[in-house]
Structure 1
Amino acid sequence: MEPSELRNKISELSVLVVGDVMLDQYFWGDVNRISPEAPVPVFQLREISHALGGAANVAANLKGLGCATELCGFIGEDREGEIFLELARRNGLGISGLTRDPSRPTTVKTRVIARSQHLLRIDTEKIKAPDAEIKETLKARLEGLLDQVQAIILSDYAKGVFLFEGFCVWLIEEARRRKKPVFVDPKGLNWHKYYGATCITPNHKEFAEIARQEGLSPEDLSGSCERLVEKYGLNFMVVTLGAEGMYLYHPEEGAWHFPARAREVYDVSGAGDTAIAALTAFYTAGLPLKEAVSYANLCAGIVVGKMGTKPILWEEFERALREE
């Protein structure tokens, strides 16, 4: 498929992203001396910036490639929630699925960076399942959104959205009943809640942990993927391997390793978000699976060359494609 045709097909898609949304906050500055009070650097703050994080970064990557995107998750009734909403609107994301939860703060990850050196991360969060009323509000909004989209991504950071008992199972069943593909970025070892998804995309550490729990060998990628795909009712599985690229297993079409395609690596935060967003967009647009994974691998290689959480843009992807 030619890039122009692929872009047109992606522009006709709408993808629903459900998960734990976050606000990424950056403190940019310099360190020129050590504190006289303790052996720690003195950070001179120059600038504060914000970006969409967690599931919202997945949505921003989809939008960057040209997809219409609906975002579903929780934010708090606080200043950070207002900043998040403004960023989401500015990025053109659909926000009708977002719900305010007064019992929790907006999840914020604050990174302190001095001249491209990541010094510290500060997390502000409250990990818990929302109450029953908010759960029902969320399900009602999802029932309205599921019919409007062509694919669903579950972005699980174990902060609250998928801590509802039975919620993830319900959502996958509703999506598959409508014949919509479901892609999952997992967290933790309870993969039973992801049963029946189209694809799960663990990173190498997550893959190793679930493989060991199942009595499998993490070193045997093909054999372990085969067992996991069968046990959890998946169509196929993609493992993101960081500096080693990506690995695809399909029970009928076989397995492939895609070497990393990064030119320079500045910041790996958000690379998994880019990978699952790009894979979903390319696969749902009709690309053959192997080609969709190859292109997703290329997109992940582009974003690790950026400092901070920044989504892939179609122009960057097309330029990299031409260069290769």
Structure 2
Amino acid sequence: MLSKINLSQLEESLSKVKILVVGDLILDRYFWGSVERISPEAPVPVFDLKEITHSLGGSANVSANLRGLSVQTFLMGVVGKDEKGDLLIKIAEECGINTQGILKDPERPTTLKTRVIAQSQQLLRIDKEVRLPLSSDIKKAFQEIYEELLSNVDGVILSDYAKGMFLSDSFCNWLIEEAKRHKKFIMIDPKSADWKKYQGATSITPNLKEFKEVLRYENLKEENLDEASFYLVKKYELDFLVVTLGKEGIYLFQPEKGGLRLASQAREVFDVSGAGDTVIASLSAFFGAGFSIEDAVTLANICAGIVVGKVGTQPVYLEELKKFLKEGGSHGKNCQN
């Protein structure tokens, strides 16, 4: 049950929150068009390109979701020394995201995901990426930036897309330990099934597929969600665990209170890409603003229900949430170019 929220004070509360997002930066590119015929050359559709747009993906989309909720946002990650990296930084800055923590690495291209969309349906996705661990020089530079930014924020999000930022378990452990040492909360959107690298975080927010992979890795039975969650929370020293269940909603486990399932708030589903980014961003925003864990998860579930009603990777906006809480639904501006 969601506690009564003063909507007029909601933006003021969120605008005081400062969160640092560390993770794998991705530039999302969209080819928008239509398909009206089949090619005479081969049995494939002919895509008639109408427009090309770009938006923030990966951990950059987490940052866009935070900004959409009026949170002061700092972004840390690596891009290539290329045109796509420049564009990602430009879009982020236009969204009001602090980009001083973004470094350019000439040894790797900016990660690019290209989606081909016709009649609001995704036909194809094309990825261009290099999955390499950070060089020692880049890692050292990040550690210096992290120490500087950490003192100025309320909490940290580690957004792991397995592109390179967290391929070093020791670096991931160091980020968590430093956040704890500075008494900052730290939320993890995981990619690895081995959670040892995430040990000591405030919370981890896997989707159901990722959660089942962890259970298999740990040799745990899938039947009892509460028992498995209790084991993982205790083993990895978490305060609580959040599992996104897709159309089934969201699951919260707190060791002292047990499990809680919340039904999905989605009115219609067009695109689930980026929904996990919305969950961890909104959860962190409301947790950082002082909401109870139950209320923060409930609001994150609502935000996810809003964002899956959009086509393409897009953030959720505070006005959309406020309208949902008052009467339901709406769409806001986009962090796109």
> TM-score range, shorter-chain basis?
over 0.9
Task: State yes or no: 1:109 paired with 2:113.
Answer: yes
Task: State yes or no: 1:94 paired with 2:95.
Answer: no
Task: State yes or no: 1:130 paired with 2:134.
Answer: yes
- Whether the 8 Å contact between 1:135 and 1:164 is mirrored in structure 2 is no
1:203 is matched with which residue? 207
After superposition, the C-alpha distances for 1:281-302 in whole angstroms (9 at most, x for unaligned) are 1111111111110010000000
Q: Which amino acid aligns with 1:127?
A: R
After superposition, the Cα gap between the structure-2 partners of 1:4 and 1:253, relative to the gap in structure 1 and judged at 3 Å, is farther
> Offset of 1:254 from its aligned partner?
2.2
Q: Which amino acid aligns with 2:259?
A: A
2:46 is matched with which residue? 42
Whole-angstrom distance in 2 between the partners of 1:192 and 1:134 = 23
Task: State yes or no: 1:298 paired with 2:302.
Answer: yes
Within the candidate set 19, 28, 31, 2:23 is matched to: 19
- Whether the 8 Å contact between 1:101 and 1:130 is mirrored in structure 2 is no
> Offset of 1:3 from its aligned partner?
2.0
> Offset of 1:219 from its aligned partner?
2.8
> Offset of 1:4 from its aligned partner?
2.3
Over aligned residues, Cα RMSD in angstroms? 0.9
Aligned counterparts, 1:155-234, within 5 A: 155-234=159-238
Unaligned 5+ segments in structure 1 are: none
Aligned counterparts, 1:9-88, within 5 A: 9-88=13-92
Whole-angstrom distance in 2 between the partners of 1:11 and 1:79 = 32
Q: Which amino acid aligns with 1:10?
A: L
What SS class does the counterpart of residue 201 from structure 2 fall into? coil
1:253 is matched with which residue? 257
Whole-angstrom distance in 2 between the partners of 1:51 and 1:258 = 30
1:150 is matched with which residue? 154
1:241 is matched with which residue? 245
After superposition, the C-alpha distances for 1:79-115 in whole angstroms (9 at most, x for unaligned) are 1111111101111100000000100000010000111
After superposition, the C-alpha distances for 1:179-234 in whole angstroms (9 at most, x for unaligned) are 10000000021210000000000000000110121121223111110000001010
2:316 is matched with which residue? 312
> Offset of 1:128 from its aligned partner?
0.5
Task: State yes or no: 1:278 paired with 2:282.
Answer: yes
After superposition, the Cα gap between the structure-2 partners of 1:93 and 1:320, relative to the gap in structure 1 and judged at 3 Å, is same
TM-score, normalisation: structure 1: 0.98
Q: Which amino acid aligns with 1:128?
A: L
Whole-angstrom distance in 1 between the partners of 2:327 and 2:219 = 43
Give the fraction of aligned pairs with identical amino acids, expressed as a percent: 54
Within the candidate set 266, 276, 281, 1:262 is matched to: 266
Whole-angstrom distance in 1 between the partners of 2:38 and 2:51 = 20
Whole-angstrom distance in 1 between the partners of 2:225 and 2:169 = 31
- Whether the 8 Å contact between 1:266 and 1:304 is mirrored in structure 2 is yes
- Whether the 8 Å contact between 1:198 and 1:235 is mirrored in structure 2 is yes
Whole-angstrom distance in 2 between the partners of 1:276 and 1:39 = 41
TM-score, normalisation: structure 2: 0.95
Q: Size of the alignment, in residue pairs?
A: 324
> Offset of 1:35 from its aligned partner?
1.1
Whole-angstrom distance in 2 between the partners of 1:77 and 1:5 = 42
What SS class does the counterpart of residue 120 from structure 1 fall into? strand
What SS class does the counterpart of residue 166 from structure 2 fall into? helix
> Offset of 1:311 from its aligned partner?
0.4
- Whether the 8 Å contact between 1:25 and 1:111 is mirrored in structure 2 is yes
